[in-house]
Every structure is written in C-alpha cells, then in structure tokens.
Amino acid sequence: MEIRPILASLRKHRIPTLLIVLQIALACAVLCNAVFMIGKRVSDMHLPNAMDEAGTVVVNVQGTDEKLVAADIPRNLAALRGIAGAQAVSVVHTMPLSRNNWGWSFGLTPDAPVSDPNNLNVTLYFAGENADKAMGLQLRQGRFFNAEEYADSKVDGGAVPSTHVMVVTETLAKKLWPGQSALGKTVYSKPYYFTVIGIVADVLRPYTFALDHDRSYYDIFLPVAPDAVLHEYILRGAPADRERIAREAVAKLQQLNPQAVVKGQTYQSIRDQYFANSQSMVWILVLVCLVMLAVTAFGIVGLTSFWVSQRRRQIGIRRAVGATRGDILRYFRTENFLLSSAGVLIGMVLAFGINLYLMQHYELERMPWYYLPGGALTLWLIGQLAVLGPATRAASVPPVIATQST
Amino acid sequence: MLGYYVDLAVRSLKRSPGLTVLMILAIGFGVGASMTSYSVFRAVSGDPIPWKSSHLYVPQIDVWGPKGHQDGSNNNDPPDAMDYTDAVALMRDHRAKLQSAMYRVSPSIVPPDASKHPINVGGHAVYSEFFPMVDAPFKYGSGWSAAEDSQRAAVVVLNGDINQKLFGGQNSVGKTVNIDGKDYRVVGVLDNWNPKPVFFDVVNTGGFTTGHEDVFIPFQRAIDVGMPNDGNTNCSEIPKGSGFVGLQQSSCVWIAYMAELDDKAAVTAYHDYLDAYFRDQKQAGRFSWPLNNRLRDLPAWLDSEHVVPSDTKVSLLVALGLLVVCLVNTAGLLLAKFLRRSSEIGVRRALGAPRLAIYTQFLVEAAIVGLTGGALGLLLTWGGVHGVSWVLPKEISTLARLDVGLLALTLLVAVVATMLAGLYPTFRASRVQPALQLKSN
C-alpha cells in the first residue's frame, strides 16, 4: 500500500490530524495508568489469607464488666459451642483486615528495646484457646499452643502478654531468619521475649500494605488466658450455615451479657468492608476506561465519516480510474493505522512519563513494561474497528459519482 | 443578528447530525464521567467530610518549644494537640466562624431499667459549635446552645446506637440519661453518625477506631464534673499538680481543636491571631522560644497525621485525563467540520460580511455545541452521582457529593475549549482572500 498519498492528504488536514493523534496518545496514556491502578487494586484485594474466610463468623462484645471476664469468657464460649453447626469456637482480640491493630516491634538481640530503629514492626494476634481451629489456621511446622501455655499467659492491662512462646507466619519466619529454620528462635523487645514453637501459613494483618505485600503478613500469634482484651468471639462452621450461626451467636451472647453491645457478622463481610473502597475505586476506574475508549472510538468514527463524506468525489474518481473496493477500504484502514501508530507511540512515552511522575509524587509502583504495548494494542484494535464502518461506506461509493458535478 | 447566527448554526449542525451528536456526547460524557468519578474518588479517599474539609482548620501552638521535639522526626512540628490553658483561651477569644475544643471521654451510663448493669460508652466533650461545624446529622432535636455551654448545662447529644439501646430508638429529646451518676437532659439524637476516620479527633483515635461515638456533652460541664480524659495525653514534663486538675494546669497536651474558616481572608486573619496570641504569651513569660505555630486545613492535617492515603490526587488526575481526552476529541471533530467551510466563509466575506461577523457566527455554532454538551454533562453528573448508590456500598455513595465550584469550572472549561476549537479555523478561513476561496470551488 502506497502511504505517500495518505500522508499528503493528512498534511492538508493538519490540525484535525494532530488532534486525533493527540487524543489517541492521551487515551493510551490514561488507559495504561488506569489499568495499572485497577490491576494493583485487584491484586491487593486478592492477597491470599490462609484462614477459613468462608466459614468464620465474628461476634464483637463490648462493654462487659472487666472484673468478671475470667468467668464470663469460658461461660460465653461454652454457650457458643452449643450452637448447632459450630465446629470450633474461640475468642481473640482482633481479626485480619479488621483495621484494629495491636502492633509491637521486635529485634533479634536480647538487649533490643522496643524503640530500636532496627526492630521489625509486627502485628500481635492474641489467641484464646482453640483460636487456630476457629480461624482455620494451617500449621506448617511445629505446633500450636497447649492448654498450659494458654492458662499461663496474662495481659491484665499490660502491653504484651506474659507468655514466652509464639507462632509466626511463614513470611515473617523467612524475613527474620532467612534460610534457617525458625523453630526455637527468639525475638526480643526488652524486657519481653518470645520463642517460636510453630509456623502457620500466611495470614493477613488487620491492615494490608499496598507497596510491600510481604509486610502484610508480619504476624505473631500469642496465647492468652481469658482477659478483658479478648472481645471478638469467633465461630467456625460450614459456609452455608454462617448467617444462621452469626444470628444465633449474637442472640446467645446478648442473652448472657444483657448490658453489653453485641455485634455479629460473617468474616466475609469484614473482608468486604475492608476492601469496599478499593472495590468502588476499581468500578469507577473501569467506567472511566470504558467511557474513554468509547469516546475515542466515536471520535475516530466521526472524523473518518466526515472525511469520507467530504471525499466522496475523489473516491469516485479513484474508483472510476480502476481502484477496487478493497483499495478504498485499505486506504482508510492504513490511514487509521498511521494515525493510531503515531498516537500510541506518543501515548506510550506519555504513559511512562505519567507513571514516573506518580511514582515520584505519590506512593505508586513502577508500571511493568507490558502495560505499554497492551494499551497500544488495545487502541490499535479500537481504531481499526472504529474505522471499519466509515471505510466500508467509502468503499461502496459508486464510480459514477466522479461524473456528477458537485 | 445573533438570532440569525443561532439559526444558521442549528442548520449547519443539522446538516451533519451524526457528527453533532458525537460532539455533544463526547463533551457530555467527558464532563459527566470525570465529575462523577472525581466525586466518588474523593469519597473513598478517606476524607470523611469532602464537601467541607477545606474549610476546617486545626491550629497548633508550640507550647513545648524545641525541647519538646528534639527527635526532629516531625519537621519541628509543634505538638499535635493542645493544653487546657490554650484551648480555653482560644475558645474564649472566639475568632473563627465556628470552633470547638474537644476531648475524648468514656463515662458510664446507668440504664433507666434498674435491673441492668451500667454501660460503658465512648464520646467527646465538645462545645455547642461542634455540631454545625462538622455537619453532624441529627435525627431528633439539635445540639445545645452557646448559653448552655457557658451555664455548664447538664445536657447530652446521643448517637443513634446508644439511643436505640436506652430508648429503643424513640425520639428521646427531653428525656433524662444518668451519666456517671448525674442526670443529663437529652437535647438531640444523631443519625448513627460514625465518620471514618474520626476526623475531628484523629490524635486520640488514631483516625480509625472500632470504638463508637456514643455521647457528646458540653466541654466545660465535663471539666466541672471532673470527667477524665480517655484519649492520649502527652507531656514534655511531669505535671506539678496531681489528677485531672493537675493535668489542666500542666503543659501536657490532650485537647483536640478545630475551627471553621470559610475564606482566605478568614484563614489569614486567624493565622495572624494565633501568632499574636503566641507573642502575648511569650511576653507574659510562658514561652521563651521563637514562634512556631501551624494552621492546617483538614486534608493537610490528616496527611500530616498520616491518616489518609494520597490517592485523591492520583484519582483526580485520572478524571482529568478523561476530561481532556473528551475535549480533544470534540475539538478535533469541530475543527474538521469548520475547516471545510472556507468556501461558505468566502461567500459571506465576498458579500460584505466583516471578519467580526464571521467570528461571531462560528463562535455561536461552537458555543451551541459546547453548551448543549455541557448541559448533557450536568445531567449525566447528576445522574451519575445519584446512580453510584446502585453500584457502590451505601457509606461510600452517601459521601459522593457534588463539588459545585468544580462542576462550574468543568463546564466553563468545556465551553471555552469548544469555542477555542471553533476560533482557529475561523481565523484561518477569514484571513484568506474571499476571491480565492470562491474561485477554488
């Protein structure tokens, strides 16, 4: 296909040509970055969380008499165990993705104080008896806590429980002791210290970290005897039963603790709430992308149609002197291909620049390279699809037009 | 004459209806989609009161001096809360439109039903202007009056949850609640108001908290009855006096403060006032270090307290990108259309139309496209902002409010952009000799 006549014709319509190229470039740049942001959020939302998310129910009990917890908690747990379908029952102080974090920082040397800048900040999960079963944690090495360890560990308004054993996640174990077995190793935060007795599959923290997914898994599980900090009752059952279990658990706990504020929900709803903003953001970004692609496509349709109607006579003459329908079709498709190519080339540079700018000014990661050709390909395809209609119409211009006067 | 041009423009637009519809749709969708997405982005960006956050300011006074921030970790920022002396002085001076000092309380409520145990609740001691300042939504009644502030009246505003618990959700205005053993009259009930983050007191709540705001009671009343602070207290030295009264006399910071300032002049005036206040106190011998006050608006404040992610601006850029794509699109189409009409311009010029008349004619045509597109955009924005409640969770969609100023600006940009697009081809065509254009046809 000869492209020189196309270029000559485009040169005659310099400004509209420039604008359509600019539009394709902008669309390509915004598309790449928007899709990248969508992908980032979706991957955040799908961070694996090795617990039984589908079958767990969480009931929050607030405002009970702190002096009576030692008796109240076992009584409440016993009542919850009586609920049909509840396979395991426990009490903890917070759950993954609940935004309620109990953080502490630890070092690897016995004299590391809590404020040491080299310490690693982790989430403490205070586990009541059977918490591993109620949450559906997956043990990878070692063991979970025994009855004695639970009974010996008190918080009593302090910062950290009095136990000396802990269970860590796989990612934390790898982070603290790379290439070694974590079992039997100890972390310190003077005067506290905890020794690893078990390793579980990765469970998320109450907060996730978008920029460093590994950090979202720095958890330490500590055994805790019935204590005032434990007010999230968890029950595990079949996913189909969870709504009913939640209802019955709330009713039972409210009945046992009439003065307390009792709120129950499935773990799924905690997760949904945590990601509600991301979810909304994703939907809107998808909407933005769709509107933008549609507008770009319609812009191409509009401009090409207009050019076709302006050039009916020239097309007629070309047809009269022997051009086939295919030639005409090819002409407009090649023209569009040239415009799109120029657009996406500028667009990819622009997309890269925007990404650099966002990285510098906001906490955003570098866009993987394949987003650029991906966006370019999308716009090429859209351009070709959009030009198909007007080009077909151009191809159907009869040669006889050439003989008519305007 | 203008009527004639409008007529001409409509005729011309009707000649290529497809193109006209495309241009109008592009502007409409551009304005509508970018404004809708912007308002949703703003809602999810963690700003709990986006329609007002730029009018809410948090003053900071450097009561500790350099010794208080030796670690240098925070850019020499003054303490992020106030001591009692300054909070009360600022309230007394009353220089902002609305303002309130506040601190977190955690009293217990004795239910009217004697068989029930007392309930531990959370809440804040605030001044009367707190409620209008933060746009707290009342279900029943209202806040208390400024007079009741100074009388230290025993009044309380309940949140929806606790009203449900105590009064079964009925209108409890005028009823009595026993708080820490004393009777308080209910003056208002909020409609389950739980902003996240708790923007009016991020220091004491860490922004996000699972604790609820159950009760609000008058600040001076809470001080009088010695209701202790349940939030953070930070001290640079050990208080001389003991207990809650000792805390009030100390330089420990534990009180949050917020002021509503509606325009730049008010902000400048308030900043000057803060500085003058500091100098007065320095002269009185309280401070021996240089002036180091801050007055941040709510977004900047949340940012400095690391509460809100920096997504807002990124998303604004995305919305802006969409708008620009749509405008470029329309401009391109309009140009293509207008550039083809040099012969028409030639005819009009040859018949004696001055350049100004040509400009007017084409600008009218461009403006019609711009305005119609803008009107469609307005409609789509309105529909979009109301329609998001179908797709998005309620707590987000209720936050998605329109920013009227920004919308007006967008419309203006849309119309000006189309008119500019109309100007260029007119300029080019009207410069050519009429005879040449007539001949070329």
DSSP assignments along B197-223, one per residue:
S-GGGHHHH-S--SS---EEEEHHHHH
The mean pLDDT value for B297-305 works out to 79
Say if residue A365's pLDDT is above 90: no
**Partner residue opposite A302 with nearest CB, options B333, B396, B425:** B333
CA B255 distance to own-chain centroid: 23
Please answer yes or no on whether A280 and B208 come within 8 Å at the CB atom.
no
Q: How far apart, in whole angstroms, are the C-alpha atoms of residue A301 and residue A308?
A: 10
Q: List, for residues B199-238, the tens digit of each pLDDT value.
A: 888 766 544 444 578 899 999 999 998 888 877 777 766 6
> pLDDT at position B210, please?
47
Q: Per-domain residue ranges for chain B?
A: 2-45+310-440, 53-59+68-262+295-304
Say if residue B311's pLDDT is above 70: no
Q: How far apart, in whole angstroms, are the C-alpha atoms of residue A326 and residue B230?
A: 80
Residue A319, judged by CB atoms within 10 A of its CB (0-12, 13-18, 19+), counts as buried
Say if residue B310's pLDDT is above 60: no
> pLDDT at position A263, please?
84
Please answer yes or no on whether A261 and B393 come within 8 Å at the CB atom.
no
The mean pLDDT value for A200-211 works out to 88
Q: List, for residues B140-153, the tens digit of each pLDDT value.
A: 999 999 999 999 99
Please answer yes or no on whether A281 and B41 come within 8 Å at the CB atom.
yes
CA distance A357 to chain B (A): 10
Asked if A122 and A106 count as a contact pair (C-beta separation under 8 A), the reply is yes
The mean pLDDT value for A303-316 works out to 85
Please answer yes or no on whether A291 and B322 come within 8 Å at the CB atom.
yes
Please answer yes or no on whether A15 and B424 come within 8 Å at the CB atom.
yes
The DSSP-derived string for B120-151 is E--EEEE-TTHHHHTTPPEEEE----HHHHHT
For residue B234, what is the DSSP state?
Answer: B
Q: How far apart, in whole angstroms, are the C-alpha atoms of residue B258 and residue B96?
A: 10
Please answer yes or no on whether A295 and B30 come within 8 Å at the CB atom.
yes
Closest CA to B191 of B146, B145, B142: B142
> pLDDT at position A284, please?
81
Comparing B286 with A90, which gets the higher pLDDT?
A90
> pLDDT at position B208, please?
42
Q: ipTM of this complex > 0.90?
A: no
Q: How far apart, in whole angstroms, are the C-alpha atoms of residue B267 and residue A281?
A: 33
Q: List, for residues A236-295, the tens digit of each pLDDT value.
A: 999 999 999 999 999 999 899 887 778 889 999 999 888 887 887 788 889 889 988 988
The DSSP-derived string for A31-83 is HHHHHHHHHHHHHHHT----S-TTTEEEEEEES--GGGHHHHHHHHHHHHHTS
Strand intervals (E) in A301-378 = none
Share of chain A above pLDDT 70, in %: 97
The mean pLDDT value for B165-193 works out to 88
Q: List, for residues B11-66, the tens digit of each pLDDT value.
A: 888 888 888 888 898 888 888 888 887 777 776 666 677 788 889 999 998 888 77
> pLDDT at position A147, please?
92
Chain A residues inside the 8 Å CB shell of B422: none
Say if residue A156's pLDDT is above 80: no
For residue B255, what is the DSSP state?
Answer: B
> What pTM did the predictor assign?
0.72
Which residues contact residue B52 at a Cβ distance below 8 angstroms, ignoring those fewer than 6 apart? B135, B260
Chain B residues inside the 8 Å CB shell of A362: 310-311, 313-314
Which ranges of A215-275 does DSSP label H, i.e. alpha helix?
242-256, 267-274
> pLDDT at position B238, please?
65
In terms of C-beta distances under 8 Å and separation of at least 24 residues, what long-range contacts does B195-198 make, across chains too? Answer: B195/B48, B195/B49, B195/B134, B196/B46, B196/B48, B197/B46, B197/B48, B197/B302, B197/B307, B197/B308
In terms of CA atoms, which chain B residue is nearest residue A260? B119
Say if residue B198's pLDDT is above 60: yes
In terms of CA atoms, which chain A residue is nearest residue B38? A284
The mean pLDDT value for B299-320 works out to 70
Least confident range of A185-199, A207-221, A264-278, B236-250: B236-250
Q: What is the mean pLDDT of chain A?
A: 88
The mean pLDDT value for B404-419 works out to 81
Q: What is the mean pLDDT of chain B?
A: 82
**A334 — pLDDT class (breaks 50, 70, 90):** very high
- Phi first, then psi: what are they for B77, rounded to 5°? -65, 140
Share of chain B above pLDDT 90, in %: 21
- Phi first, then psi: what are they for B390, rounded to 5°? -75, -35
Say if residue B117's pLDDT is above 80: no
Q: How far apart, in whole angstroms, are the C-alpha atoms of residue B280 and residue A364?
A: 45
The mean pLDDT value for A76-92 works out to 94
Question: Which one-letter amino acid corresponds to residue A387?
Answer: V
Counting one residue from A and one from B, how many pairs have CB atoms under 8 Å apart? 157
Q: How far apart, in whole angstroms, are the C-alpha atoms of residue A264 and residue A243?
A: 9
B36 touches chain A (CB under 8 A): yes
CA distance A339 to chain B (A): 13
* Residue A262: count of CB within 10 angstroms of its CB: 22
Chain A residues inside the 8 Å CB shell of B41: 281, 284
